Amino acid sequence: MIEFIDEPVGVDVQMHPDGTVIPLGFTWHTHHLKIGSWGRQRIGTHDGRRHHFYLVQTLDGDTWELGRDAETAQWRLMRHWAVRHTMI
């Protein structure tokens, strides 16, 4: 199930000399989540503004989409896909 969030979020990043940014973790609602793996990246628009979108997976296995405004460098937490836990 997908959850649409679209809220500002604080993101820890690693900046490379060529200007690329790699998100390492983020803080949302006082919870700090570390990113364990990265998926696709894309350039798109949100509210008429250009964004760089990152699909990431946190250490607990949940998948998230982060968006970084190309002009202001502000981050937004766009979407969340929770891991489905099955009961045995």
Among 56, 75, 64, which Cα is nearest to 10's? 75
Q: What is the pTM of this model?
A: 0.88
85 pLDDT band (50/70/90 cuts)? Answer: low
> 15 is written with which tokens?
């900046």
Tokens 């604080």, residue located: 10
Where do the domains of the chain lie?
A: 2-81
Please, which pLDDT band fits residue 58 given cuts at 50, 70 and 90?
very high
pLDDT at 86: 56
Q: Which residues pair with 55 in a beta bridge?
A: 65
Task: Confirm if 40 and 62 have CB atoms less than 8 A apart.
Answer: no
